[in-house]
Amino acid sequence: MFDQFGAVVDMQGVLVKALEPFLAGKAYKGSVNSLVTWWRRTYFENSMIEALLHQSHTPYREIGHRARSYTL
C-alpha cells in the first residue's frame, strides 16, 4: 500500500493549476500555491479532529466545503 495522492498524483500541482484561472479572474494577487497549501492543511486538520475526538463522521465533501470557506 502507498498513498497515491502525493506519490503518484501531484495533488498540489493539479489544484494550483485548476485554481489559477479562477483566482486570476477574481484579481487575486497572492500565491496560489500558498492558498492551496493552506486549504489542504485545513482540510486535513478538520478530517482528523473528529477521529481524535471520537465524534460522528462528517462526509468529506462537507469537510471540503468548510475548509474552502475558512481558507477563502
pLDDT band at 6 (very low <50, low <70, confident <90, very high): low
Residue 2 φ then ψ, to 5°: -150, 160
pLDDT cut 70: percent of the chain above it: 90
pLDDT cut 90: percent of the chain above it: 47
14 located within any domain:
no
Domain that holds residue 70: 31-72
As for how many domains the chain has, the answer is 1
10 located within any domain:
no
Helices 60-71 and 32-53 meet at what angle, rounded to 10?
Answer: 130
* Cα separation, 72 vs 66, whole angstroms: 10
To the question of pTM greater than 0.95 for the whole model, the response is: no
Q: What is the pLDDT of residue 4?
A: 63
